[in-house]
Structure formats: C-alpha cells, structure tokens
Chain A
Amino acid sequence: MKISVCLIVLLLAVNFNSFGQEYIKLEKSEILPLDHSNKIETWLIKVSDEYNYFKVKIQGQVHKGDILVELVDPDGELKRDFTLKAGSAAKEGIDLGEKGYVAGEMEKSYRNPKTGNWFVRVTYNPESNAKLKIYNLLIYNPRTNLIELEQIEKDTDEHIYGQL
C-alpha cells in the first residue's frame, strides 16, 4: 500500500515536472559577406519533432546588386520571400537620405512546425554587396499558450534581435 502511494506520488511529481518543462534554442547566423564564388547559398535549419514552436526571422541589407531571399519548408514549398534591389537611382524629388542601401526583413512562425530541414536560400548576382542575418527560435513547451508565446517573441525581439 505504502509502496503504491509512493509510486503515485513519484509519478505525479514527474508528470508535473514535465508540464513545466521548457527549453528555448535561439540561433543567430551572420552572413557577411556573401561568398561570391556561388550564385546561390543555402542555410539549413534543422527542426526536430521535440520542438513545438519555430520562428525564423531574416534581415538583409543590400548596398550593391540585388538578392532574393527565400524560406523553404522541408517539403520544398516556398513559404515566404523578398527581393532587395540596390543601385538604382531614386526618382527626382525623393529623398532617401544618406543610407543609400535597401533593407528588407521577413519573419514567419509555426506552431507544430513540419519537422526536417528547413532552409533559407539566397540568390544573388556576383556584384552584390550585401549582408544578412538569420535568426531561428525553437521552443519546446507543450503548455505554452499564445499569450506566453507573444511575450517570448517580444523579449527576443527587444533583447536579442537588432538592426543590422
């Protein structure tokens, strides 16, 4: 009797502990400069089934040339993309300041993401002068609700992400 009570208590303790389990994996890749021996570069993001939340954010800056940035899921399906074209002159009367570059940013997040190799594909011309930052956030916590997720995202946005 005593043993079974102890076992139940132990099981409950393990269970409660697993409910509170949470781990966050944040990776940051800086790509600067692009390797001009290629015209296409890809970065793999491995998403295993232990994670139930995945967010990717890509920031790009192009000073010269143009780049196409694409996020592709493990099934090869294009999920989001943007193209930055630098070098063209602004129209008369448009003041684009002294920065001179073209910037772009995209983000996409998934609850219960497809598992496998996600990748970020960058296509560019050899003259391109660009820099990129890729962030990926993976969270495991089956209990996390949307409000908590919003808070985690906000924290990572404010403290970890930044401008290029």
Chain B
Amino acid sequence: MIKKLSSTLVLLFLVSFPAFYAQDRIIIDIGIDTTKWAPVAYLSLIPDFNHLNTISNSQIILQSGISKSGYYEFSTEYLPEEEHLYRLHFSKQGDSPASLIIGGRNHNHFFLFARRNSTVKVRVSQGQKLVNNIIYKGYKTNLYIPYLNDRIESVDSIDRMGNNVNREYALETVYNDIKAFADTSSYPLLSLYALYNTDYENDYDLDPGFYRRFLRKWRSDKSLYFKEFRKSLRGERNTVWVPILLFILLSGIIILIFFLFNNRKKEEKKNPLTELTIQERKTLELMKQGMSNQEIADEFSVSISTVKSHVNSIYSKLGIKSRKEILNLDD
C-alpha cells in the first residue's frame, strides 16, 4: 500500500515538476529605501521602443504593494500572450504615481520582458540607490538585460568622466559592443532593445548592410516593435533613395519607349512589303506564281494597263527591276 502511494507521489512529482519549471518565472532583486520611495511598484506596458522614455496614466497596467514576504508580485494572466517589454517604476513619497526619472541617483525604473502568465516577483531589500545591482532570475530573455544595462550605463559614465578627445572613441566602442550583442542574440526583442540603445539611425547610413541582415534574420517577427523599427529605417531610406529610384525608373521607361518606337520604325523600313497596297500584294502573289500581266488581268477582271501600273509600282517600291528578282524575295 505504502509502496503504491509513494510510487504515485513520485509519478505526480515527475509530471508536475517540468510543468512548474516550464512556467516563466521572473524574479528581480532590487534595493529600495522605503522612507524615500512610496511602497508601491507600477508596471507599464511599452508598446514600442520609441516609447522607452514616455510616461502616461494609460501605460500603467498593474500595480503592487509589498507582500508580507517582502515581494512585489504581479498577476499576469491578463498580459498579452506574446512577449512584450514592460517598465517597472517607483515614485517618490508624495509625488505623483505616474512619474519617470531618467538618470542620476534617483533613476526610478527598469525594464523587463514578460508574457501572459509569467510570474513577476520583485524582491525588495534596503539600498542606497533604488535601481542598483538588479539581478534577474528565471525568464531567459531577461538574463541578458544586466549585461546590456552595464553598457548602456557606461555611455553616461563616459560623458561624466571622459574628455572630448577620448569620448567619441569610447562611445563608438560601447555602441559596437551593443551592436555585436544584437547581431548574435537569439532573442529578437532583446536584440532590438539593444539596438535602440545605440545611435542606430546615424549608424544605418554608415553600415546599412548590417541592418538589412538584421531585419532579414527576424523577418518572421511581425510585432509592433519590429514594425516601428522597419518604419524608422524605411523613413531614412525613403528620404535618400526614393527620388533617385524614381528618377532611374522614369529615365528607364523613357529610354525603353524611345527604343521601341525607333525599332518599330526601323522594322517597318526594313520590310518594304508593308508599303504595298492590297491590290499590289495580290498582284505580287500572282507574279510569284509565274503568271503574265494578261493572266493577272484576267484573274482580277481588270484591264492589262491597270496590271502594268501595279507591276511598275511594285518594282519601284521594292527596288527591283525584273520578275526574276521577285522570285528571290522573302515573304
């Protein structure tokens, strides 16, 4: 009996274990001074990467207070099914909940990727800086965010500490690092998020091949994130290439029409038979058959002088002088 029960339990465990771990679990550790910050966290859906630095009331889709176990937890059963980018932010005590602070010691938000039924848990500890040393666990796409954040933050550090001589070189190195990450990442949204943190619009002019390859790699991704990215690059291309392409296309059409018209004229000139009248053509046919002028006159019931006139006209139009030459003519 006990043996049966234990084997059932083991079976149940084996069945439920993979299901439990297949769930997207997102656990983030942050440091927060609750004397300075309101004890509520807000989760906003970022519809596309152009809105990374935008805040509005309608963007905020979930909120959470700290649970007894020291977590902010979000119920995510109503999130979109596909993976999206979310922003989690805190507001200062007494400030509006819809507030966004970018840069400096009070930088009040961070980003994460999630989808429907992802378990989003934020573990709170006391810290000097709100968004400092965030550790992502679980959901794979998020595991690379700290790597990217390090590089994104280093852009600020370069500005804060560098000088004009080495700043440009250092920035280029960081952007190349981020670009290489985007190139090799197997997570489409994460790689796109990486590119949005470079000066990709300027870089597109220098290295359009990279962006064409990148978009080819993720051509199956029809999300708004990629749609907006394609649009922004197309916009760049439009401004430069569309007038040039239109000019080339129009010139091509004009040249084509000119050649067609010219060829047709030449063809018509090449074939003098087309200049003959119907009566002359009929006469020519009978001449080819070896009929005399009289026979042709009889065949058409016309006078011999009319036939002679046709024959003279044929000779002049075809540039020939005898009936022998008529026999050598091509149809």
- Contacts from A to B (Cβ < 8 Å): 57, 61, 66, 80-91, 93-97, 99-112, 114, 146, 157, 163
Contact = CB atoms under 8 A, between A and B. Distances in A.
Contact of A112 (B57, B92, B164): B164
A91 B60 contact: yes
Contact of A96 (B98, B106, B160): B98
A94 to B, nearest CB: 5
B163 A94 contact: no
B53 A81 contact: yes
A26 to B, nearest CB: 16
B101 A105 contact: yes
B96 A146 contact: no
Contact of A94 (B63, B91, B160, B162): B63
Interface in B70-100: 91-92, 94-100
B28 interface: no
11 contacts: A82-B100, A97-B96, A99-B95, A101-B96, A101-B98, A102-B57, A103-B96, A105-B100, A105-B102, A109-B159, A112-B162
Contact of A99 (B58, B96, B163): B96
Given A57-B104, A82-B102, A109-B160, A102 B96 contact: yes
A94 B61 CA distance: 7
Nearest to B42: A94
A33 to B, nearest CB: 18
Contacts of B164: 112, 114
Contact of B63 (A89, A95, A101): A95
A56 B229 CA distance: 30
Contacts of A80: 102-103
A133 to B, nearest CB: 14
Contacts, number: 110
Contacts of B163: 111-112
B interface secondary structure, majority: mixed
Nearest to B101: A105
Contacts of A109: 159-160
A89 B54 contact: no
A105 B105 CA distance: 12
A102 B156 CA distance: 25
A111 B160 contact: yes
A12 to B, nearest CB: 27
B55 A83 contact: yes
B62 A94 contact: yes
Given A82-B100, A103-B99, 9 more contacts: A61-B96, A82-B55, A86-B56, A91-B61, A102-B56, A102-B57, A103-B96, A103-B98, A114-B164
A5 to B, nearest CB: 37
A141 to B, nearest CB: 15
Contact of B54 (A82, A99, A108): A82
Given A83-B55, A86-B56, A163-B95, A103 B100 contact: yes
B215 to A, nearest CB: 24
